[in-house]
Structure 1
């Protein structure tokens, strides 16, 4: 498929059910939604008042079967929401007691949008999870499992929110925190250890440093991908029940070109990897 040809920063992209929402990198940033099935994109109405887009997320309400975009604009934080496809405009919503600044990690599960956030304007300090009900448009705050937990990705694990630790340890260890009770902020810790021979699937040294956890698919496999693409694109699938790994090479994508031969390491950084693709014929 052809790329929608947008110039965008890494943190200005969200995806859900085959829809990709992104903000242009121009001074007068616009929000657009691209349907990877129909390969059509649409520009969303400008925010009122017209300010720069700081963060945005896609959410889905399975009861009313509608998609919504939650957006925070600046410089003074203002949260607005808009329903896609029904001709509605942006609506300002009150975060109540849960003043926050969204970070990058996010996921929508069963009509609830979860995303990582921080209380400080400079995005420093202990982060937490914001729970946004797409249908009622209400916010709640969930504590992290611990102050030292660094979130690498948010995934759906057995239908529940789960966060993966920031790094893969040198022995192939992955730590997954599963949210058991959002009201009591109760998390369950699960540890997975990749088999020693998983490094034979990839190139180079320190492979645990240059790979990241992406998702858990419907079969219960943990999906990993390289952070940098050296020669070819591939994805790793780890089955914790069978303790097995399979490698899938993605064909048809040009190898990344080295821009500076004087640098010892120069590769293409993989910014986004969308798994569990769903065909959507929604016309926006």
Structure 2
């Protein structure tokens, strides 16, 4: 585990690695100062979503299929067992599951005990969520944990041992402590709006931050302490990102924020990566 954690940190500032996911694998782009190497990794399965944390990927195809954990450094792939308590749901029709059930997984890393854990959340319309946890290398089956109020598990991020889930409609953050394995609701800052599309979760220097780039500047709210529920606002002078098109926000290990342009507007002629 220590060797795996130290390897990504050993690279210099002039070296970058990008993983471009596809439905049946991904491209690995290794960029150094004077060269670029592109390789392809193919899977024997197709996936619809993924979660990444501290050097490992978690893949799944939605609903209640098996979850796979992938180590890009060793190209090792493991398949996690299915949740036994939900075996009867797999016999239901696909249309029923897609309408009534939302199933998602989040891969997290707990730094104190140095453990990887996968949080599975199943939401049934009009009911509370059901949640299971699986510890890599320790557990043989999923363990169900206490329920929390209903939330939509769309925007999620693991930061320093906490899995954060954004719920703009109820104006709070669902925080799952990976060490003690319990949930906590953290209210959002005063004056926060309900437009879920305007918010993105990112990590800034080991802290949770919420990005809002819907106006002519970027408003960055940083959760200084998850236990004290204290937010701090930062204003970044930056063009309105909507003028560029569709983009995604990522965090770099050195504290910088990476903006990756996906779909460009007519006024933008080249695909770019921007750093803040």
Normalising by the residue count of structure 1, what TM-score does the alignment of the two structures yield? 0.65
Number of equivalences: 215
Whether the 8 Å CA contact 2:108–2:178 is kept in 1: the answer is yes
Task: Identify the match of residue 274 of structure 2 among 215, 230, 236.
Answer: 236
Measured after TM superposition, the shift of residue 174 of structure 1 is 1.3
Task: Identify the match of residue 214 of structure 1 among 235, 244, 249.
Answer: 249
Structure 2 CA distance, aligned partners of 1:58 and 1:138?
16
Task: Identify the match of residue 193 of structure 2 among 148, 152, 158.
Answer: 148
Task: Identify the match of residue 103 of structure 2 among 36, 51, 54.
Answer: 54
Measured after TM superposition, the shift of residue 24 of structure 1 is 1.6
Whether the 8 Å CA contact 1:107–1:114 is kept in 2: the answer is yes
Whether the 8 Å CA contact 1:14–1:56 is kept in 2: the answer is yes
Across the aligned residues of Structure 1 and Structure 2, the Cα RMSD in angstroms comes to: 2.9
Q: Which residue of 1 aligns with 2:164?
A: 114
Structure 2 CA distance, aligned partners of 1:211 and 1:4?
28
Q: Which residue of 1 aligns with 2:120?
A: 71
Alignment pair present for 1:7 and 2:59: no
Higher relative contact order (CA closer than 8 Å, sequence separation 6+): 1
Gaps of 5+ in 1: 119-124, 200-205, 239-284
SS in 2 for 1:2: strand
Measured after TM superposition, the shift of residue 87 of structure 1 is 4.5
Whether the 8 Å CA contact 2:50–2:57 is kept in 1: the answer is yes
Structure 2 CA distance, aligned partners of 1:181 and 1:111?
13
Q: Which residue of 1 aligns with 2:205?
A: 158
Q: 1:2 to 1:99 in 2, by over 3 A?
A: same
Measured after TM superposition, the shift of residue 214 of structure 1 is 1.1
Measured after TM superposition, the shift of residue 179 of structure 1 is 0.9
SS in 2 for 1:45: coil
Q: Deviations over 1:11-59 (max 9, x none)?
A: x32111121112124x752211122222232221011212466011111
Structure 2 CA distance, aligned partners of 1:140 and 1:220?
26
Higher relative helix content: 2
Measured after TM superposition, the shift of residue 162 of structure 1 is 0.6
Whether the 8 Å CA contact 2:261–2:273 is kept in 1: the answer is yes
Gaps of 5+ in 2: 1-39, 91-101
Q: 1:28 to 1:144 in 2, by over 3 A?
A: closer
Structure 2 CA distance, aligned partners of 1:207 and 1:131?
29
Normalising by the residue count of structure 2, what TM-score does the alignment of the two structures yield? 0.67
Q: 1:3 to 1:130 in 2, by over 3 A?
A: farther
Whether the 8 Å CA contact 2:152–2:167 is kept in 1: the answer is yes
Structure 2 CA distance, aligned partners of 1:152 and 1:6?
32
